[in-house]
Amino acid sequence: MESLLEAANDPVRFQTVANDLGLRFWISLAWWTWPVGSIVEALSAGTLSPEQLEVLGRERARQVRLTLERDMHSAWTKAMWKAIADRGEAGLG
């Protein structure tokens, strides 16, 4: 674990260390580079086109749905393992 903490600020090194430890970790590269500091700044300056805003909105909504799906899957998995453990402790397994 200490080697992971030491590599925390270097994503490429962190990936290498994690993989060497048998952990599944990979770096996802950005598919689009945002050329400004913030969406609010771009909207205020008028440099954000409606098409760009639509793409950003769609992508953000997709990310939120994916995060929610992962969280629900994680909660379901934890609940199932707890139910299995509880059954075993009660002598029902």
- pLDDT at 33 (0 to 100): 73
- pLDDT at 70 (0 to 100): 93
- pLDDT at 92 (0 to 100): 66
Give, for 11, the enclosing helix (H) or strand (E). Answer: helix 11-20
d(CA 47, CA 39): 10
Residue 8 contacts by C-beta under 8 Å, 6 or more apart in sequence? 14
pTM of the full structure: 0.49
Sorted by where each begins, the domain ranges of the chain are 2-27+49-89
pLDDT in tens, the chain (93 residues): 788 889 888 888 988 999 999 988 888 777 777 666 777 888 888 888 888 888 888 988 999 999 999 999 999 999 999 999 988 877 765
DSSP structure string for 14-81: HHHHHHHTT----PPPPSS---SS-HHHHHHHT---HHHHHHHHHHHHHHHHHHHHHHHHHHHHHHHH
- pLDDT at 49 (0 to 100): 85
